[in-house]
Amino acid sequence: MIKLSIIISVYNKERHLKATLESVINQSYKNFEIVVVNDGSTDNSLNVLHQIKDPRIRIFNQSNLGASAARNRGIKEAKTDYIALLDGDDIWLSDYLQQMVEMIKSHSNANVFACAIANTYTKKTVPVSYNFEDSEIIKIRDYFKSSLNSYTLLTSSSTIFKKEIIDTVGWYDTSIKSGQDTDMWIRIGMHYQVVFLNKVLVHYRYINDSLSNTSFNPNTKPKYDKYNIEEALNTDLKAFVDRNRYSLAILSRLNGYKTTYYFYKKAIDLKNLPLGKRILLHCSPWLLKTLLKIKSLKGQKLYYMPLKDK
């Protein structure tokens, strides 16, 4: 049987952690270990962890070094060949691991696996939109093509990969405090295709005070300047990264970071942006803020981040 190491990085998740762990313990597939890295939580998270009794759980404590360092620690401590990522506030449906393991067995030569997710808000759960034109349930997909103009194909709660790919793609970048997942997915996408199960098996909890929703300093986010050679050879990679650069350029413009605004703006090939976003990219800060208020009132987004890191 395939055994997996479930890596859960935790920082101040006491309100949601018990439900998250129970969604793992109650999986129909049982052959796994749970590696929890408590990244210097200042709330009651550690006590919640110790209240849950299961011999498969191993807890590691460290000072607050950030999500990248926590995930790296968890992967290093893993005792199996397969890494299953899970955020400390998301939920797996009970047959998530069973269906993912079946997919892994049927694609034994593949290295990266993922499934569809739904966003869970306070009063509703909404499946995210993907840009797939075909109706196949399982398909091997290019990460950049499949994540362009839609939700990211990989997330930190719906991705399983062979531990050995770290030798090729490298570890999580500890210099990135918010957006580290996107940086990792880019490196994975440059080397591996994704076996994707187009079925919702994971509920992503949308938390208002999560890192992605409260971090407005672009200097803590990826620079997207490590892939210039690869971007010149892969138009889909270039288009994907440019969409991320656009989001960070707008974020910089809105929050008064002139240097980073021009840094991201200069690197974008405008052909990779729709006309509306090209116009917004050149708008003054006051106009952007006005448009943002209008969009917010209509429940729309002025700019998007393909992935929300917690």
Separation of alpha carbons 121 and 126, rounded Å: 8
CB 149 within 8 A of CB 201: no
Residue 134 pLDDT: 73
> Which tokens in the block code for residue 225?
């300047």
Q: Identify which of 88, 89, 87, 116 has the alpha carbon closest to the alpha carbon of residue 100.
A: 116
75, 161 Cβ separation under 8 angstroms: no
| Nearest to 239, CA basis, from 251, 250, 227, 252 | 227
Sign of the CA dihedral running 132, 138, 144, 150: positive
Q: What is the 3-state secondary structure (H, E, C) of the chain?
A: CCCEEEEEEECCCCCCHHHHHHHHHCCCCCCEEEEEEEECCCCCHHHHHHHCCCCCEEEEEECCCCHHHHHHHHHHHCCCCEEEEEECCCEECCCHHHHHHHHHHHCCCCCEEEEEEEEECCCCEEECCCCCCCCCCEEEECHHHHHCCCCCCCCCCCEEEEHHHHHHHCCCCCCCCCCHHHHHHHHHHHHCCEEEEEEEEEEEECCCCCHHHHCCCHHHCCCCCCCHHHHHHCHHHHHHHHHHHHHHHHHHHHCCCHHHHHHHHHHCCHHHCCHHHHHHHCCCHHHHHHHHHHHHHCCCCCCCCCCCCC
pLDDT value of position 307: 42
- State phi, psi for 201 to the nearest 5 degrees: -125, 0
Q: What is the pLDDT along the chain (310 residues), one digit of tens a residue?
A: 899 999 999 999 999 999 999 999 999 999 999 999 999 999 999 999 999 999 999 999 999 999 999 999 999 999 999 999 999 999 999 999 999 999 999 999 999 999 999 998 888 989 998 888 777 899 999 999 999 888 899 999 999 999 999 999 999 999 999 999 999 999 999 999 999 999 999 999 987 654 454 467 999 999 999 999 999 999 999 999 999 999 999 999 999 999 999 999 999 999 999 999 999 999 999 999 888 777 654 455 554 444 444 4
CA distance 233 to 64: 38
Return the pLDDT at 301: 53
